[in-house]
Structure 1
């Protein structure tokens, strides 16, 4: 009897539940109004014109005419330009000076990942380190900010971890799930496990003979040098005075406090005295050089090179390989290399990026160069996963960057340099110090956390300075969590399709422009369609019979599929000259575009063409043009091209 009553009640409950579910389905599918469709009518028109930004000459005049800036930033890398954006959007009058070009150092030589760091999470757990865990959580939050503020430059990338022992499958998978969990609401996608068969289908180039499974998690990937240039442009758009190729020669001090700098224009050799209420040292690996000037009563650099006391220099090398070394839309993480590091093999800009090494250095070189041993180390690690022979001549480019590990110099005994002793005292996150002369130094950290580093830097400046005479009450709070960087406005992930429909261009060109310039890509394509000349690959401008008013796209101009294998055109070069402050061929070949980093051989072949266009636009004389060409060829010639692939000396000026 009891069983019948129970079954009767359960049946009633089941029927009631089914009724509720059915009503919900009817409401959701037939009664509730549908959301408006995301169709073409919801898009704003493509941006086909934009007022030119202040020219370099106009920015230099502003440098002279401004009696006293609120904030003077030394260094135009990720942290410096990020700080300029933060300060300018709060209402401060900002000046930024960069000795070379934006992202000419470490900021263009990263692993191109916006990530929290799975290796830091592992250390946090096994070493019970709250500092490591805080770094991971901080970076995961900022990863979400990068994807939101620069949607054209940043995207989500699945990364697989090959597992070759059954007991490691749950170990790595739990680690991936914890990575998801610590990301909270900013988690990109849920981690998963691929079987051996699924992995082989996704990555046929992988050796799956002993593979058990792959654990797949998700991080962000981005174009670091273009992100850096975009930050500089965004700062200028918000009123900042941002200049490259201006070198600080001396810190100006009054009553022991820094009140400005003496700087020189490296192009014209003209000197400028620039006054500022506060000064920020954001020179990355070269932070010690500004600190050495600060230590001098006259603000002058030491006569003899000094060992670094803040930066612990270490070289990290990356190489680029053809696209068939990795799945097109999925990366690979080697969790344990032969020397205990992790290594990434990632699809990037249509190629495969592999790295990185970790080689301690005694000093910070101006232009670190990868060694053959470091290149071979990466190739040997990759060979563990690839079924076909990994060839040295397949290396398209290689470069070396300096890792931004730092040590608090105030805790280092006199006579000791930063590299002395163990790495136990190293700051894995960023470090902000303020000297007695009021010099604020921001160093360390990683690309992913640049925005938070900038925010903390400006917050510190505001606490220590009264910029408006009203206890900073007229300043806005931090805005960088809200703003969209230049090119990200009105951008959508299908922007390349819109460009194809509007301009009838190849898919490869549309993807290249949309993913690197966002909603400003249409400005380049307006130039592209102005003339046949602007449609040509930049290598064509090197031909002896190049005349801008006469050149036509024809077979006589040596146009071929190979010529367009890398989608960099004269239109893009002219856009960079007008809108992005390039001053040398390497600014364009290495940083506004990434040609030198993607294919050094092609970049060498393009140098003369780029110089020819820049000669016309910037009014260079023969001597300047020759010097620029020689400098670019020397730089690119050291980017790891295999001598077996071609004769480097035919391009490189000795």
Structure 2
């Protein structure tokens, strides 16, 4: 397997960062960033090469069975649900969280990948004289800074260009960008500026510069949403919470006074049903909040026989597509300030590809697994074409997905059976916390950037409304650092290259997704040549650890090594991050299905083969997992 070793020693890329420029010889681009921690001591702490794994799934289930009554039971393992679990656990509460499928399996993995204040909301706030919109922007700007601090490995600063094609719009957009800086206050990331058309073309040569006058540049955060979600889940477990994926809440349990006292939930892996008691129950199911609320309306706490239209959630589908890296600059995004229907659209570098979106299509109900339509994909490509010097090709779409925005209204103001289908552009993406007569607490709405504040407000309400009979701390999430962020520094990838002699592309991928725990993945990586294999090759029988034949070498090409996802990373995700299915790994622990669905399809067999060994699956289970993964990924916008 010497080819693996030689590949591991090669250098496969070099990160570059767009820095300052002069516009017309007068405007200087100042690029100052406030580091989360000004101390350089963390750069010299030893790499973490050994760490006990978190409690196994069976151990967490034992906690479930042995706990008479939890303080807080959270239903839903998305951003807000896991954030609430972290907040409650770090205050000293005994917490249980149940997720029907996997962490970030829904909306929380399908965002625009931005930690942002919402520059579009600022425009609405100013011209609409809306204090609610302005409060939303300021709140999100504060939380943007918090995300950069608590997860420095997952969240980074991203400059975003606004192309301007009319001279009078240059000061208009620039003033808007400076106001965005101003409202961020001392937490402003970098100063907004103006680039000349010549400089913009140098940064983004794929952009059509005909009639381009200038570009205004502001800054926001970009992040890996699904990895942030799983990191929150693991952080909650690390602080004592019992967190389980693939547990479906089938019934809400009530006492003789109609008050919630817990739930009945089924382990979807074994079909065993558990009765779980809790003093307080939180509904954090995002777009599916109405499903739990309907169960709460029923005296027996069971799902109604006939589902009603959602009352709290006004569902809206947002589609994104991913394109090859040559569709945009590597280190700067693009904002389309006015699409044909008056919305904004982003074209952003993300995980080595270009992310484009999003659409906004109102729905009557919330689908279990939304699928992008061809119409939505074409709409995005049409908008992108306005800015490119070459034709946008449908076959270049590497992946596409649809996510449901949980835009919300107070359900108390909506009669049952009301049809809420309609335009969603004017709805403020704020959040709502409600309490029903049974004491069910529901938190819904908001956006990824404000997840922490939403969680804090939810736990604040729990502490106020319920008697937990213990010394509860104040909120700790403004002070903690999430798993992987401890001892992390921007030079971490370089340290990994020096320590393990691996390609820079692999080191950058691991450092920016696992932080200071990347070295644990690389300890697996160094154990065998098989662990070094890309997951796309792991299913090849000639590469199985028991084989010595290298006949499969004849079938190798560069494409096999283009994506930096290895068997080592898969084994780590199973042991340390509760990946239970191939989709968990391909779509959420890594983002291969979101980045390149065709490559993800080719990796299914290898992932199934490794997980079969790690999780002791029989052949029937392996076949089922293979079929489910192929079905899921094949619906992610790719053409045959």
The TM-score range, normalised by the shorter chain, is: over 0.9
Q: Is the 8 A contact 2:43 2:491 kept in 1?
A: no
Matched, 1:284 2:286: yes
* Equivalent residue number for residue 513 of structure 2: 516
- Which whole-Å CA distance do the structure 1 matches of 2:426 and 2:218 have between them? 31
Give the SS at the match of 1:193.
Answer: strand
Residues 1:177 and 2:178 are matched in the alignment:
yes
Q: Tell me which of 474, 477, 482 is aligned to 1:477.
A: 474
One of 555, 562, 577 as aligned partner of 2:559: 562
Write the deviation string for residues 67-124 of structure 1: whole angstroms up to 9, x where unpaired. Answer: 0000000000000000000000000000000000000000000000000001100000
Structure 1 position 77 matched with structure 2 position 74: no
**By how many angstroms is 1:568 displaced?**
0.3
1:239 partner SS: coil
Q: Name the SS of the counterpart of 2:112 in structure 1.
A: coil
- The alpha carbon displacement at 1:423 in A equals 5.4
CA 1:557–1:590 in 2, change beyond 3 Å: closer, same or farther? farther
Over aligned residues, Cα RMSD in angstroms?
1.5
Task: State the shift of 1:167 in Å.
Answer: 0.3
Report the secondary structure of 1:313's partner residue: strand
Other-structure match for 1:326: 328
Describe the shift of the 1:436–1:115 C-alpha distance in structure 2 as closer, same or farther (beyond 3 A): same
Equivalent-residue separation in structure 1 for 2:247 and 2:115 (angstroms): 30
Question: What is the deviation of 1:414?
Answer: 3.7
CA contact (8 A) 1:108 1:224 kept: yes
Q: Is the 8 A contact 1:234 1:485 kept in 2?
A: yes
Whole-Å Cα distance in 2 between the matches of residues 306 and 629 of structure 1?
34
* 2:599 alignment counterpart: 602
For 2:451 and 2:43, the matched residues in 1 are separated by 33
Distance of aligned partners of 1:422 and 1:550 in 2 relative to their CA distance in 1, 3 Å threshold: closer
Please give the alpha-carbon distance, in whole angstroms, between the structure 2 residues aligned to 1:427 and 1:190. Answer: 27
Change (3 A) 1:237 1:40: closer
Deviation at 1:426, TM superposition (A): 4.6
Contact 1:407–1:427 under 8 Å retained in 2: no
Q: Secondary structure at the match of 1:45?
A: coil
Bigger relative CO (Cα 8 Å, ≥ 6 apart):
2
Q: State whether residues 542 and 550 of structure 2, in contact with CA within 8 Å, keep that contact through their aligned partners in structure 1.
A: no
Q: For residue 416 of structure 1, what is the aligned residue in structure 2?
A: 418
The whole-number CA distance in structure 2 between the counterparts of 1:519 and 1:618 is: 26
Alignment partners' CA distance in 2, 1:129 and 1:211: 32
Please give the TM-score of this superposition, normalised by the length of structure 2.
Answer: 0.92
Q: 2:68 — aligned with what? A: 67
The aligned counterpart of 1:642 is 639
Question: Unaligned regions of 5+ residues in structure 1, if any?
Answer: 1-36, 644-654
Gaps of 5+ in 2: 1-37
What is the match of residue 124 of structure 2? 123
Counterpart of 2:58? 57
TM-score if structure 1 supplies the norm length?
0.90
Q: 1:586-625, aligned counterparts within 5 Å?
A: 586-625=583-622
**CA separation of 1:346 and 1:425: change in aligned 2, threshold 3 A:** closer
Query: Is 1:359 matched up with 2:356?
Result: no
Aligned residue in 2 for 1:101: 102
Conserved 8 A contact 1:407-1:418: no
Kindly indicate whether residue 345 of structure 2 is the aligned counterpart of residue 343 of structure 1. yes
Shift of 1:360: 0.8
- Matched residue SS, 1:405: strand
Per the alignment, do residues 292 and 408 of structure 1 end up closer, same or farther by CA in structure 2, a change over 3 Å counting? same
* CA offsets 1:491-530 (integer angstroms, 9 cap, x no match): 0011000000000000100000000000000000011000
Aligned length: 602
Residues 158-307 of structure 1 mapped to structure 2, 5 A cutoff: 158-254=159-255, 255-307=257-309
Aligned mates of 1:594, 1:191 — CA distance in 2? 31
CA distance in 2, matches of 1:552, 1:567: 24
Structure 2: distance between partners of 1:165 and 1:108 = 37
